[in-house]
Structure formats: C-alpha cells, structure tokens
Structure 1
Amino acid sequence: MKKIFIAIVLFLALFQSSSLMAQDILKGNDLSTVRVDYLSDGDIAKIKSQLQSNNMTIDQAESMALSKGMTATEFTKLKKRLSLLETSKVKTDKKTSSDEGQDDNQGNVRKQEKVENKKVKDSLNSLVFGSELFDNPTLNFQPNLNLATPVNYILGPGDELQISVNGVQEFSDNVPVSVEGKVNIQYVGQISVSGMTIEAATQKIKGAISRVYSTVRSGQSQVGISLSRIRTIKVTIIGSKQPGNYSISSLATVYNALFLGGGPGKNGSYRSIELIRNNKVFKNVDIYRFLVSGDQSDNVGLKDNDVIRIPVYANRVTVEGEVKRPGIFEMKKGEKFSNLLTFASGFNEFAYTASVNVLQKTGKEFKVADIQAAQYGSYIPENGDVYRVSKILNRFENRIIIEGAVFRPDTYSYHSGMRISDLVRQAEGLKEDAYLKRARIIRLKEDLTSEIVNVDLGKAVNGDVNANVELKKEDRVTVYSILDFKEEYKVTIDGEVKKPNVYDFQDNLTLNDLIIAAGGLTGSASKRVEIARMIRAEEIDDANPNKVELFNIEITPGSNEQSTNFELKPFDVVNIRRMAVNEKPEMVTIAGSVAYPGKYVLASKKEKIYDVIKRAGGLTSLASLNGVKIKRPIKKAQIENIENVSLNLGKKDSIQNKLEKKLKEDLRFATIPVDWSKVTKNQNSNANVTLLPGDEIEVTAFNETVKVAGNVLLTSEIPYIKGRGFNYYLDAVGGVDAKGWRNKAYVIYPNGEAAVSRRFLLLFRSSPTVEPGSQIVVPEKPETKKMSAGEWVSIASVLVSMGVLIITAIKP
C-alpha cells in the first residue's frame, strides 16, 4: 500500500512539473523533473507561444533551461518536438496557400491571380501594320512568374514574402504585406516595407532578424527572402478595342496591358501611346520600335492606378504592290519615305525601284506624283497617301539565245561587238550533225517587228569576216541539223512473225535483219514470203498498171538466218505467209446423260453430232430422246452484222437496240434443237448437225413433268399425262392471270425447240402438242393505249363527213 502511494505522489509530481513547464518555461525555478515525452502537442504549442511572446528562440532559451535543472537529453527532445511542430505548420500553410492561389502550373512557388481576355479579330484594321500583334490569341505578354524577382520590384499591400532561416537556427514562414505596408515576422515583429524595392526590403528584414537570431549575426544561419505571392494592381486603358479597368499582375508591363485591351481601336495610334502616372505622361510608347527592331525599351512596368491612353492617329499611309509587307502604316512627324520602306520591309525581288507612284489627296481632288529613288531619303509622306510599287518590265536588257545542233543550247548574256562565232564558242561548239550551209537569226527590230537573217555557218566559224555577222540583243540563233531534213523511212512486216509491226529503216537493212527485229518466225510460218515495194518514177507509165512491185521469195522456216538474203528498201511491206495445213486441234463439249461426258476434239472438219455422241458412249437409259440440243456461242461478227442491218423502224424505235443489247449481254449461245430419233434413223439427214469449235452438246435426262410458267396464277410443274392437251395443263395451274396472253402461249420442248398455237379457217385454233419435260410459257399482253373521248369524236366527225360526201356524190 505504501509503494502504491509513493508511485502516485511521484506521478503527480511529474505531471505537475510538466504542467508547470507547459505553463511557463521561462518562469519555472526547477526543471529537473520535466519529461518531454509526457507533454502533449498542445503543451508544445504553448511553449512555442511563450517563446514568441518573449521574442526568444529555443536556442536562446537553452542556457536558461539547463541552469534550472533540465537535462541536456530532455532539452534536445524539447527542441526536436518544437522543430517537428514548426515543420508541420509550414506544410499546412503551404498547402493552404496552394489551394487558395492554385493556377495551371502547380509546380510554381510564386502565385498570381489569373487574368484572361478573349481575343476578338479586328476585321476593320486587319491591314494596319501592328494589328496582328493583338489579334493573335497565341501571343501573350503575360509575365513569367517563374523568373527571378526583379531587384527593382516595388513592394506593396497584397504581396507576400517567404522568409526562411536555415542553419543552426531554423525558421520559415509566408508573411503578407499588410494594408499598412508592413510585414509581421514571428519573434522579430513588424517591419515597414511598402514602397521599397525587393532588394532594399531584403536588407532591412535581414537586419531585423539578425538582432533576434544570434546565429544569423555570427553567420551560422542564413536568411532567405523571396516573393511568394504577387499583388494585383488596377490599370485603366482608354482608346483600345476593349477599353476599361483591368486587374493585372504587379509584374505586368505596358504591352501586357495593351494585349489585354485588344490593342488600339479603329482609329487608335500605334506610335503615340501615353502611359500616365500620377496625372502626368510618364512614357510615350511607340509599338513600331518593337515590331521593326525588337526594341522593348518602351515596355516598362506598370503601377497601381496607371492609365494607358491611346490617342487617334495623326498620319496613316498605304503601301501597295511589290513590297515585302504591304499594308497601312502610321507615320510620325518628320519621318521620310525611306522610313516607310523600312516598315514595309523593303522592296521585293520583282519591284521596280527607280521610282514609286503616289496617289495623294488635296483639299479638293486627287493628284498623282512620282518619287524618284534619289528622293526616298527626303520625301515626307502625307496623311492618306497611297504608294504603288510596280513590277519590273518583263524583258531583258542583254539576252541572246542559241538553239539547235550545238552542245549547250541555252540563253546567254550579250555584250557589244558579239558575233555568231563567239556565241557558238560559248555554246561549246557545233554538233557533228550541224548543217553548215545555213543558220537562221530571228532579230527583233526597233519597232518590235521581227526579221530573219541567214548566215553561212561554215564560213562564219572558219573566220570569214563577212559571214561572221555581228549579233544584237534578243537575237535568237537557230543551228539546223542535217537529220531535220532527212525523211523518216519505215518498213512493215506482217504475218507469221512474233512481233508484226512497223519498224525504222536503216541503210543496208536486209530481210534477215527485219525478221530478227520482229522476234523471229512462228511455228506456222511457211516458206513463202511476199515483199511489196513502191514504184518510183519521174514520169507516169500508162503501159504499166501495177501500183507496187512484188517479190516472192522462198525461205527456210526452221531457221531465222536465211542462206539467200534480200536487201530491203524504204516503205517495203513484208508478208510471211502461213502454212496451208496448220490448224490446232479444236474441241467441243458434251454434257448430260451420256456415258462419258467431257471435251472431245473434232476429228474432221465435218464431224457430226451423231459421231461425237457415239464417241461419248451414246445416250444413257435416263436420257430423254427429245432432250438433245446444241448450244453454239454467238460470235462477235454476228452481233456486228445485226448492228449493220437497218430494220427501218425509225430513229427513236428501241426494238433493234433491245435486240443488240440482248445478244451482247443476255444471250451468249444460240440453241440448235436436235431431232435425235431422226438422226438415229438416218445419219445423212439434216437433223445430224455438223459441229463447230466451241459447241456444247447437252443431253437432258427424262422428266415426267410439264412446267407451266409466265403470266399464270400458279407457276408449277404438273405430272405428264399421255393424251392430255395444252389447255389441260393451263387449267391445272389455275389459268392465266389478268395480264396473261393465252392466244400467244407457247411450248418449249426439252431439245430447245418451241411451238405456238396456230389458227386456221379464222375460227379454229390448234394448240401445240405437249411432251414430257416440256415447258409452257404464257407471255404478258402488250400495253395498248385506249382512245380518249376526243379521239372518238374526231373519228365520228370524219365518218360523218365521208358519209355526206358519198351521199352528195350519189345524188343525181
């Protein structure tokens, strides 16, 4: 029980001592019982507050605490707890400051309220030099907050300083400049900094801190001061596109404010902008200095309540034509035309620079003046002048041309006294094919008409003074080639060669050479060659009716090199004949109900269908005897024959056009029905058709149904019943529909043959016979146009008129 009592007493003593220390560490007499581990964060905060109220740091309190009995270990713990509390507070302050002034670049330490202004394109002043500087939204004169603080930056209410002490003693805090222009630093007190530069304020604050922190005076700790938040100032812009009051950064400059205001207004000046400070003109801003030479001396910093006044322009002129930067420019008093050329970046490469035309305005009318090149440095432009810089003339002052049979035909420079031999020498001399008897000079006379001067080129280049004529500028010399006068000869080869064509003729060209050039003979070439040669004579020989001279030559087809060669002449036509008997095997196709369907070679030129079917093993037991037909491909020549035949149906009639289209696109074969029963009885009958290459023989299988299609109520297949007629099958599918043309119905038999209904004695109609596998087709009635009431009235009136005429003629 006694031990428990003693423990409670000791605990209360420790707690009381800890509480006493927390209440006042500076006034306690005995600190030997203090245990820092038992102190809460609130107690540590109270100790820090006590130190701040006494303008004392924990390092300054060290000697006093040790003298009152606090062990060095406990004091080290206390110092560490205070340091951790300070670090936590700084982080919290930074986070709060970041949340309040957060901008797009979160990595920046320095903060500033973001100022935006939507750009409006100035269509009225688009030609005014300098307007594009304020219209482009990608341009921005906003100050860079990441740059070092200018040493001449003037502090004022709204700025915030980051003050830190590093070294043996440590301290960090963000201190705002109050409305009274003072900063309140813990342990140091209030310091007035308003109106001071950042450099001067830094020295003043460092001096105040050094009086409190002994290690700063000794150099063991260093003081750092930077601008963490920039204040916002108010400026007024007058005469801009968007005039008004703007809240901008205190680091902003004149150009930044002008950019926010959209630049000068419609009639605003770009060269006499006034920065008014304290009701006086502080700076005259000329934007042209920046645009022309990049001089930013006018881009001064702004202060709170500054006014930017943009007056109207006094003198504007226009430059058009061949300058590098045409547009509208503002001129100051005393500036010359040479300054205007500098603003326009000078003449371009096509400009006529000897003089410039100017359109001026007097008090009553217009007038035109010319400024000579010598006046550019003295002529003073006037308001409203329009300067037109024209192009140079499209002509040459020293051009001469040579073309034709020289090694370097081109355009050369002319000099006085230049002769044709000099020009030929400059063109690297004459080619081997140059025609030396004559060269032509086309010369431009003074009245701009042209003339031709002929030169004996051979004598001229050999030094004949008379032939070596003197040239003039703009002369065009043509040196002819002898190849220009040579006729282009050709020879033709056709027939059994691999590449029949028209070939160039060369001297000593032989038949062997031409055959080799044509790729050699084909395998079907015969030994006969016919050569046709043109007849040339000065006089007409009426006794000779021949148009050409023919040569018949025998060659050896197996060799392209002939033992006896034949020399050709220009325009000869060579024909290599084909062998009389040289035909490749040709085939027909048989399909359907035969023993061996497939392709078969025509054994003779007059092979019949019976022979091929017999070679195919004959008809099978499933074959329909009425189902044998031949499908013959329609040849191109047959379609052309139809196209060439006129049916005399009129230009607008489409019957022939439809027929041609059907043959070209729809029908690829012509069907030939075969009466197989007749063929088997007599192979010499006409039913045994002679086959042609490409024919397709079809033998259909026996079918016990009859198909009914077309304009009927039900398209169907009806079982074949022997003895039943045509009408039976039509009735079996419900008859024809409303558009069906029963009288024109027809039957298609399995072999492709068709039969239609026939009429005899005007009263009786016989229908075609129906066989197994047949197809009955009912076509559609053609559309007929009914006569209108007016047409019936017209016919009636004609009949009445005819009746009246007949009665009149009959009357006696």
Structure 2
Amino acid sequence: MLALFAVDGRAADESGSGTFNAPSYSSTPAASASAPDSSRLQQPQPGVGQRSLGRGAAPDKSSGQGNGREGVQRRDDPAQRRIELPPARPSEFERFVETATGRQLPVFGASFFVDAANRPVAADSVPVSSDYTVGPGDEVLIRAWGAIDVDYRAVVDRNGQVNLPKIGSLTVAGVKASELERHLRAQIGRLYTNFNLSVSLGQLLGVKVFVVGPARLPGVYTVSSQGTVLSAVVAAGGPGPNGSMRKVLLRRNGAVVSELDIYDFLVNGDKSKDAQLIAGDVVVFQPAGPRVALSGALDTPGIYELKSAQEPMRDVLRYAGGTPVLTNPNKVLVERVEPARMPAARYVEEFKLDEAGLQRPLRDGDVLTLLPISPQFANAVTLKGAVAQPLRYAHKPGMRIRDLIPDKDALVPPDFHRRKNLLVQSQETEEPVEIDAERPGVAPGASANPQANLDRSGRSAAERARRVEDRTVAERAKKAPAALFEELNWDYAVIERLNPDLSTQVIPFNLGKAVLQGDPASNVELLAGDVVTVYSQKDIRVPVAKQTRLVSVEGEVGAPGVYQLLPGETLPQLIARAGGFTRQAYVYGLEFTREDTRRRQKENLTEAISRLETLAATQGARDAANRRDESGDRSASVNAAATQAQMARLRRVEPNGRIALELRPDDAAIGTLPEVPLEHADRISVPAKPGFITVAGAVVNNNALLWKPGRTVGDYLNQAGLDEAAERSNMFVLRADGTVLHAGDRRGFLGFGGIESQSMQPGDAIVVPSQLDFETWGRALVRNLKDFSQIFYQFGLGAAAIQTLRKN
C-alpha cells in the first residue's frame, strides 16, 4: 500500500498544486532601509533571504551570524511564512477609468493573489497528488516484510534510482506517485516472493525556478517538486500593474512548453494548462493586453483584460458572472476611445442588451456602464393609508375603486384585530403596557437606539413600539372609553395620478358612497400607476358631528357608564342624560379629566424640572466658587442633596389631566356646572361626600382627620402638629375641586386673614413641605465671621511682612 503524503512539513499552495516559496528580504537595518517597492524589485540571492522547502537547502544566514542559527527562519512560525506584498501602484488605465466613472475599480483577479500571498503557509503534512512524478532528490520510504525484511529511507539519486540493501538499485524516476508501489513490487518480485510491501513518499526535493517579466515580485523561487506554473504565479504575487493574466508562458530549455490563461482558472477552475515545474524552468509574464472596464448595475464591477484585440460583450460579461436580473436590458452605455475621431477622441455609444448587443465587440479602452432597471411598475395600482393591506395590486383594463376595495373588510387594519384579541388576555407575556410619555413609541426600559432594542429582544424597535401601543390601547379599553378602531374619513379619499406631461393630478372621491353604497359616480376608474390613499379621522379631522366620541361617567349619577357624545354636547347635558346626581353626590369634588390636558401637564412638568435642574447646577457652581473651607462648611452639600431629592420626587409625579371647574362648596345642582364642551376620552367621576380631610408632609400626625364645619387650616395644623423641619411659609391646600391655595396667596396682617384662617371643605388636603436649607441664622453668622477672620488673618500676615521689609 502506498501512502501518498509528503511528511516534510510543507503545505500546498493556494491553487492546490503544491508548495511554493516567496522571497523575503533581510531583517538587518540596511536591508530594511532598501526594501523593494513596486517600481524596482530586487532579485533575492541564493542563501540570502531565500527560503527553500526542499531537502538540503541552505539555511538563511542573512543576519550575518557565523553559527548559522540566528538567521534561520523557523518553519513552524506562520508569521515567517507570509509574503509581504508591496502596495501596487495603479496603472494608467486604472487612473483613466477612475476619472471616467468617479470610482476606483478593482482589477479582476488581483485580490486572489493578494489574499493567497497574505495567508500563512500551514505546517501540516500534505497529500501528494496521484499524478506527481518522482524525480531525483525525492525521498522514498520503503518497508517490506515476509520473505524479506526492509525498513529503509532511500533518496532518488541523479540517475533516477534508489539503492536498497539486499535488493540493489531500482529505477523510480519518471514513475507517477500512484503507480510507485506497483512499480517497486514488480521489480522486487523478480528476486523475492511471499512478501508484503508498503511505499510512501518522504521529503520532496524543491526545485528552483525563475519568474521574470511584469510580475508583482519577479525573482528566483524554490518551490516544491509538486509545484506548477500557478504555484510560481501565486508566489510572485500575480501580475504587476502592467502584467497580463491572459498569457503566462512556461519556458524550458529555451522553448515554450505551456501557455497559461489565468482567467481559465479564475472563471472556470480549468488547470489543464497548468504544467508541473522542474528545476531551471522560467515563468514569463507577458505585458497586459487590451483592457476594458465594467461598472454600474452588476455584482463584480472591475477592470478586465481581453484575450484578443476584440471580444464579444457576452464573453466579457461572463468573466464578471453575467448580468443580474436588475440590469436594464434596454439601455447600455459604452464610452469608447477613438484617437482619429474629430473633434474629440472620446464618444458614447448606446444600445440594448439583446442578442445583437451581446455580440457587439469590446476593445481596448472601452468603459461599459450597465444601468439599473427603473423602479416603475408597468401595471400596478398602489393602495395605502388606513386599509387592511397597503400593497401594490395588479391593474386590469377598466379597473375601478370597487375592484381595488371590494368591501368594507378591506378597510379594517390588522391593528384592530390584534387589540381586540388583547382584551381577553390576562397574563403579561410581552412588554409592559405603559408608555413612556417622554419618549413616545419607546417601551419603558427600552433603548432609543433601534439596533440596541433589536439585539435585546430579537425584534426591531418599531415592532416593539407597535406592540406596546396595541397593548396600551387594549388595556385602556378595558377600563376607559378608547376606540380600538380608528374611524375612517368616509367622505374623502384621493387618487394621485401622474399625467403623461408629468403633471400631478389629485382626484378626490367619496369613499363611503363608492364602497358602502356602490355609487357609480364615486366608483372612479383607475389607471396604471395610480396611488389610492384612504384617510382616517386621525389623519384628517372631520366635523364633530361625524366623529365617534366616547365619554365615561362614573360615581354618584343615575346611570354610570360609557356614553357616545352627541354633537356639541356639554358637561351638564351629559350628566342630565346619565340620570343626574344622586343625593350622596359631592358636586364640589367632581373630577373631570381629559387626556390632552394630561399630556400638556406632563410636558409642563418636564419643562419645570429641566429649569430646576439648571438653577440647581448654577447655584451649586456659585456655592463652590464662594466656598473657602470645604471641610468646615457642609451646608451647601446638604442643600444640594435635598434639592436633588425634591427633583427626584417631582420626576415620579404622574399628572392626571384633571381640570378644575371652580365650583362653590354648596353647589349641588346640574345647573351650577360650567358649560364645558366634552371631547373624546373625557372621564367624569362624581364622588360621594367624604367626612374627612388629610394633612400630609412635615407634620407629627400624618393622617386623615375628621371634617367638622367651621374648622380652619390653622385648627387642623394644631391638631396634626407641625414638625421641627416644617416650612410653614410654603404650605398649600389642595381643594377637593382641584384648585390650589398657597400660603403666599393669602398673607394676613399679624397672622389674621392668612391661609391658616381659611375654612376647610370635605376632601381637602393640607400639604406642609420640609425646609431645604437647615442652616440657622446663628450658624450662618459664625460661618461668615470665620470667613472674615481668615481674610483678616491673611491680610495681617501681609502687613507684617511689608513692615518687616521696611525696617530692613
């Protein structure tokens, strides 16, 4: 049995045809200073910076050391096996194409050689190809047992023979690796019988070849015995800027034995012309032939070399992988150079990409531009807006609105069904239902960055926002009036049409008459390219009489529930329609909330917090600038901490959108209510008359207290007891009707007529804030005196020093 493996630690080249060596330059300072560039390449000298993969190759001693160790490049170091290709300068044609197209196009196939050269050569054993021909210098491992016992490593001598003990000389040169075992078995079988034989190849002799012509790195290379022309081409970094990929010659003993077209390998994988190298072979790069450039709507734009003076466009496009389906077949542009043409040498040809166009010849200097297809649809009608499926639909002759929107089901968006299904879901399996009012459309805890949300949840931020919105609307619909379906504008929809003269025509029509009533006058005929838009009442507001508005009435009324508003209906009218007030109704404490008001309150609160943060930062900077003894003065830091705590509490405040109706405490009839026009999603809650008031904040008894007629704010403060940190001058009263009474608004003389003399009503609340600055006037005086003493002390030292200088 024959093991077809090379065990010398060498790897195959990138083409799979064998191993190769590239020249490396000395690492000494002098050599580094004279590193080659793309315009002048140095020929590596034998034994100096040249690595050999063959047996018996001399080690690299370019470091100048005499022991032959320091300069040796280790085979097991992948970094030492890299080929550092110098940057290639663009050719004249590449610069010409850049000026013509506005972009620098790559040379087709050049990246293959750069990538192959920059990869480290693996140090694993590599299989020997079956058609490898054994030659002088190769090592053959022979093992026989049975009638004869042989375990021997033999090297093929110059005569092509191996000398085996007890057997003699056997000729193996010229034998293919796949036939080597059978060949040796036949020769040994002439002398012995009844034996077993195993043959494998050991180290293979490297061969020295020459690479000349306009290569990227011309020079002398030692490649593996399995190396081919393509191995040497890869080792040399491929052709240079002016080298050809279509014609690489292999010269042997003064004659051309093979001609390699690299395009055959790159495009078709054809290596039939890739001949195996022997010692002394010369690989000759030819100058580049005619070149053309392909740009525009194709997958592999670049610069391509022609095989002959002219080639059909079909063949050139085949090099680029063909034309994609998105290429416009009706218009192709070729910029051509014609030196003898007047008045200019450059002109443009235009033709179709049909059979005749594919046969058109391309020649040297042509720049071919493929155009993308137009995004225009030939027979499409677009339906968009508040519809079930906003899509492009196929247009048919005589098509009308009813053909595009056959019934009302085509106008029900999928959001309605999703929100409707969420009404019966009891478990939270998705995102939280609340929406961050400061970042509409972004779920709480979600990042404003869409990509971050996508990484976190596996879906886009837009999808997460839609899911949160659907769930929020559904949750509100469980508790409050909230329409799951966005009402349509049945009176108006529009067709947008582009006329042949490129003017835009807008054709309105009545959606309700066309879809619901089948009115022929509203069933407008459609043309290809029309865009039909259906609007909701949110997109274009309709008259109040045509809006579906829902309001909830709760509490002490005759018939609490959700009511659909009538056109122009006011608060007293709706209360009357709901059965009026009950005997237990506390009209003064009626809560009237509106969603729009809640949003405005939230915006105003956010703006106020922002102003407070700016003022706090300014005050902190002023305190820091005026502070002289930080270790002894901690009041500023305490005040700053208290301010931050107050702002943190303000951020947690959630406005409820309540509108104060400014009623009198004794109002109890419907006629006392203001004539406020109602809006969609308003909420009216009529509480029962409470029997208590609350006192909160810096008080000892922070609790609800029994309400008694005639008692004032001061009475309840005495009953609750003020805390030591209470700031009496900033306390306020929250009335049951939603109004606020502040201590600064009621300043009496000597304590009479102030806020503490105001009567309390059932449901009112007294709020006493805490002080933000706990520094007493005595402590402030001591701190100021200390600051002045420091100044006086420093001034006294200065005066003493001046006096001492005068005396001297």
Q: TM-score, normalised by structure 1?
A: 0.51
SS of residue paired to 2:405 = helix
TM-superposed CA distance for 1:288, in Å, is 1.3
- Aligned partners of 1:367 and 1:142: how far apart in 2? 49
- Aligned partners of 1:425 and 1:342: how far apart in 2? 49
Letter of the 2:160 counterpart:
G
Match of 1:169 among 145, 148, 151: 148
Q: Does 1:391 align with 2:485?
A: no
TM-superposed CA distance for 1:311, in Å, is 0.5
Question: CA, structure 1 residues 419+356, in 2 after alignment: closer, same or farther (shift >3 Å)?
Answer: same
SS of residue paired to 1:251 = coil
Question: CA, structure 1 residues 164+471, in 2 after alignment: closer, same or farther (shift >3 Å)?
Answer: same
- Aligned partners of 2:172 and 2:391: how far apart in 1? 81
- Aligned partners of 1:707 and 1:420: how far apart in 2? 82
SS of residue paired to 1:384 = coil
Kindly provide the CA deviation profile for residues 93-129 of structure 1, in whole angstroms up to 9, marking residues without a partner as x.
xxxx98xx56699xxxx99666945142655467100
Which position in structure 2 is the counterpart of 1:120?
A: 85
- Aligned partners of 2:206 and 2:350: how far apart in 1? 54
TM-superposed CA distance for 1:354, in Å, is 1.5
TM-superposed CA distance for 1:228, in Å, is 1.6
Q: Which has the higher contact order (CA 8 A, sep 6+)?
A: 2
- Aligned partners of 1:441 and 1:706: how far apart in 2? 78
Letter of the 1:447 counterpart:
D
Q: Does 1:471 align with 2:526?
A: yes
Letter of the 1:224 counterpart:
S
Question: CA, structure 1 residues 430+327, in 2 after alignment: closer, same or farther (shift >3 Å)?
Answer: closer
Match of 1:352 among 323, 328, 335: 328
Which position in structure 2 is the counterpart of 1:582?
A: 692
- Aligned partners of 2:491 and 2:779: how far apart in 1? 94
SS of residue paired to 2:349 = strand
Count of paired positions: 509
TM-superposed CA distance for 1:352, in Å, is 1.5
Which position in structure 2 is the counterpart of 1:225?
A: 199
- Aligned partners of 2:695 and 2:666: how far apart in 1? 30
Match of 1:382 among 343, 349, 363: 363
Letter of the 1:289 counterpart:
D
Question: CA, structure 1 residues 184+158, in 2 after alignment: closer, same or farther (shift >3 Å)?
Answer: same
Question: CA, structure 1 residues 136+634, in 2 after alignment: closer, same or farther (shift >3 Å)?
Answer: farther
Q: How does 1:678-757 map to 2 (within 5 A)?
A: 694=768, 709-710=782-783, 736-739=789-792
Maintained 8 Å contact 1:160/1:230: yes
- Aligned partners of 1:609 and 1:452: how far apart in 2? 69
TM-superposed CA distance for 1:319, in Å, is 0.7
Which position in structure 2 is the counterpart of 1:34?
A: none
TM-superposed CA distance for 1:361, in Å, is 1.1
Q: How does 1:206-225 map to 2 (within 5 A)?
A: 206-213=185-192, 216=193, 220-225=194-199
- Aligned partners of 1:471 and 1:601: how far apart in 2? 70
Which position in structure 1 is the counterpart of 2:642?
A: none
Maintained 8 Å contact 1:183/1:191: yes
TM-superposed CA distance for 1:314, in Å, is 1.3
Match of 2:133 among 140, 144, 154: 154
- Aligned partners of 2:518 and 2:246: how far apart in 1? 70
- Aligned partners of 1:492 and 1:570: how far apart in 2? 8
Letter of the 1:485 counterpart:
V
TM-superposed CA distance for 1:247, in Å, is 0.6
- Aligned partners of 1:511 and 1:192: how far apart in 2? 116
Q: Which has the larger radius of gyration?
A: 1
Kindly provide the CA deviation profile for residues 751-785 of structure 1, in whole angstroms up to 9, marking residues without a partner as x.
xxxxxxxxxxxxxxxxxxxxxxxxxxxxx9xxxxx
TM-superposed CA distance for 1:479, in Å, is 5.6
Question: CA, structure 1 residues 554+343, in 2 after alignment: closer, same or farther (shift >3 Å)?
Answer: same
Letter of the 1:118 counterpart:
I
Question: CA, structure 1 residues 224+470, in 2 after alignment: closer, same or farther (shift >3 Å)?
Answer: same
TM-superposed CA distance for 1:227, in Å, is 1.6
- Aligned partners of 1:195 and 1:401: how far apart in 2? 74
Q: Does 1:485 align with 2:542?
A: yes
Which position in structure 2 is the counterpart of 1:246?
A: 221
- Aligned partners of 1:525 and 1:392: how far apart in 2? 73
Question: CA, structure 1 residues 120+324, in 2 after alignment: closer, same or farther (shift >3 Å)?
Answer: same
Q: How does 1:651-662 map to 2 (within 5 A)?
A: none
SS of residue paired to 1:265 = coil
What fraction of aligned residue pairs are identical, expressed as a percent? Answer: 25
Which position in structure 2 is the counterpart of 1:762?
A: none
Q: How does 1:600-679 map to 2 (within 5 A)?
A: 631-633=725-727
TM-superposed CA distance for 1:177, in Å, is 1.4
TM-superposed CA distance for 1:173, in Å, is 0.5
Q: Does 1:526 align with 2:526?
A: no
- Aligned partners of 1:173 and 1:356: how far apart in 2? 69
- Aligned partners of 1:390 and 1:493: how far apart in 2? 61
SS of residue paired to 1:276 = strand
Letter of the 1:246 counterpart:
Y
Which position in structure 2 is the counterpart of 1:370?
A: 350
- Aligned partners of 1:610 and 1:548: how far apart in 2? 25
TM-superposed CA distance for 1:634, in Å, is 6.7
Kindly provide the CA deviation profile for residues 418-476 of structure 1, in whole angstroms up to 9, marking residues without a partner as x.
33443333997677988887764333222111334455778877888776554322223
TM-superposed CA distance for 1:169, in Å, is 3.2
Maintained 8 Å contact 2:382/2:393: yes
SS of residue paired to 1:118 = coil
Which position in structure 1 is the counterpart of 2:418?
A: none
Match of 1:279 among 238, 250, 254: 254
Letter of the 1:441 counterpart:
I
- Aligned partners of 1:254 and 1:513: how far apart in 2? 99
Kindly provide the CA deviation profile for residues 554-587 of structure 1, in whole angstroms up to 9, marking residues without a partner as x.
599xxxxxxxxxx998459968589597322568
Kindly provide the CA deviation profile for residues 361-401 of structure 1, in whole angstroms up to 9, marking residues without a partner as x.
12152111113223333211111111111222342222223
Question: CA, structure 1 residues 127+347, in 2 after alignment: closer, same or farther (shift >3 Å)?
Answer: same
Q: TM-score, normalised by structure 2?
A: 0.51
Maintained 8 Å contact 1:161/1:227: yes
Maintained 8 Å contact 1:489/1:570: no
Match of 2:169 among 175, 180, 190: 190
Q: How does 1:417-456 map to 2 (within 5 A)?
A: 417-425=398-406, 440-453=494-507
Relative to total residues, which structure has the larger strand share, 1 or 2? Answer: 1
Question: CA, structure 1 residues 428+376, in 2 after alignment: closer, same or farther (shift >3 Å)?
Answer: farther
Which structure 1 residue ranges, 5 or more long, are not aligned?
Answer: 1-96, 498-502, 533-546, 557-566, 591-597, 617-628, 639-683, 698-704, 716-734, 743-779, 781-812
